[in-house]
Amino acid sequence: MESRKLCFITIGEVNDALISEITSLVEGDVELIHIPFILASEDSEWKKWSNRTLQPFGGIGAGAAGCLLGHRYAWKKLIESNFEFALVLESDAELTNFGRDYFSNVVSQFSILDCNILHLGTHERFTASFSGFKVLNLSLRAIAKEIWERLYLKSKSPKFAERQFPFSTHAYLIKEEAAAFLVSQEVNFVFPVDVMLNSYSQVVMNKIWRCRTPVLIQRDDLVSYTRKLGR
């Protein structure tokens, strides 16, 4: 069977309006695969982990475990669905103005880039990154980087940074080969999925990048299941 290009995989209660809006930005038909938020309490691997006798490290909470399991299920779905790559969306993703202009461009570039995973945003809005407390703790270089990426690069075509995966999994593109590798690894409840992917991104050969100006951003007005159940 011929492999198809792109599918959307949503995790949790993703807004229908967001899905429709993003779909309208992509040429051709897009298949939608929905995955409900997975409760870790119903997973046999999590039960073994949480009930273990010796606990030198506490590991992640039930919410982060459910999030990790949801993403592993999304990767499995991509492998089974005969698509070359997928857009994985969580319920707290939100399209930016830059994303409305360039989402299709980013998808087209990702399909030909020598890149396995492309993070599409950040967990923090531009204004939030410059709160009084954070400004005092940012270096001049970090401040200049934020201004360059969030303001100047908004007037340019999408630019990508290698070896970077921010601490959020609200929106990213992933190729089937990368999904197959991740699924082949034994599930590990020591750290959340975003921390795991961030650590993988530090290795050049893993080819994990991010879009420097956010295409989708993590909403800050919702309390996610992960936070409710414990990260």
**CA–CA–CA angle 141, 147, 153 (5° rounding):** 120
| pTM, to two decimals | 0.89
Per the domain annotation, does 48 fall within a domain?
yes
Q: Which residue has the tokens 């360039």?
A: 102
CATH number reported for the structural domain that contains residue 100 in this entry: 3.90.550.10
- Binned at pLDDT 50, 70 and 90, residue 189 comes out as very high
Rounded-to-integer distance, Cα 78 and Cα 33, Å: 9
Given this model, what pLDDT does residue 160 score? 96
- Binned at pLDDT 50, 70 and 90, residue 1 comes out as very low
- Binned at pLDDT 50, 70 and 90, residue 70 comes out as very high
Per the domain annotation, does 132 fall within a domain?
no
Per the domain annotation, does 148 fall within a domain?
no
3-state secondary structure 163-203: CCCCCCCCEEEEEHHHHHHHHHCCCCCCCCHHHHHHHHHCC
Percentage of the residues of the chain whose pLDDT score is greater than 70:
84
Which of 51-60, 73-82, 93-102 has the least mean pLDDT? 51-60
Nearby residues of 148 by Cβ (< 8 Å), 6 or more positions away? none
φ, ψ dihedrals at 77, nearest 5°: -65, -40
Structural domain including 97 reads 4-127+159-219
Given this model, what pLDDT does residue 126 score? 54
Per the domain annotation, does 152 fall within a domain?
no
Looking at the predicted structure, is the pLDDT value of residue 132 above 60? no
Given this model, what pLDDT does residue 225 score? 66
Per the domain annotation, does 195 fall within a domain?
yes
Given this model, what pLDDT does residue 137 score? 61
Burial group, residue 141, by CB count within 10 angstroms (0-12, 13-18, 19+):
exposed
- Binned at pLDDT 50, 70 and 90, residue 204 comes out as very high
Helix (H) or strand (E) holding 35: strand 31-35
Rounded-to-integer distance, Cα 166 and Cα 124, Å: 10
Per the domain annotation, does 94 fall within a domain?
yes
**CA–CA–CA angle 186, 187, 192 (5° rounding):** 140
Looking at the predicted structure, is the pLDDT value of residue 80 above 50? yes
Given this model, what pLDDT does residue 30 score? 87
Tally of domains in the chain: 1
- The residue-averaged pLDDT of 190-212 equals 96
Can you list the alpha helix ranges (DSSP code H) found in the chain?
A: 16-24, 44-50, 62-80, 97-112, 132-137, 140-150, 176-184, 193-201, 225-229
Per the domain annotation, does 227 fall within a domain?
no
Per the domain annotation, does 119 fall within a domain?
yes
Cα distances from 76 to residues 128, 178, 191, in angstroms, run 35, 11, 20
Sheet architecture: strand order including 216-218 = 93-95, 216-218, 121-122
- Binned at pLDDT 50, 70 and 90, residue 87 comes out as very high
Cα 43 to chain center, whole Å? 22
Given this model, what pLDDT does residue 52 score? 79
Q: What is the pLDDT of residues 7-41, one digit of tens each?
A: 999 999 999 999 999 999 998 888 999 999 888 88
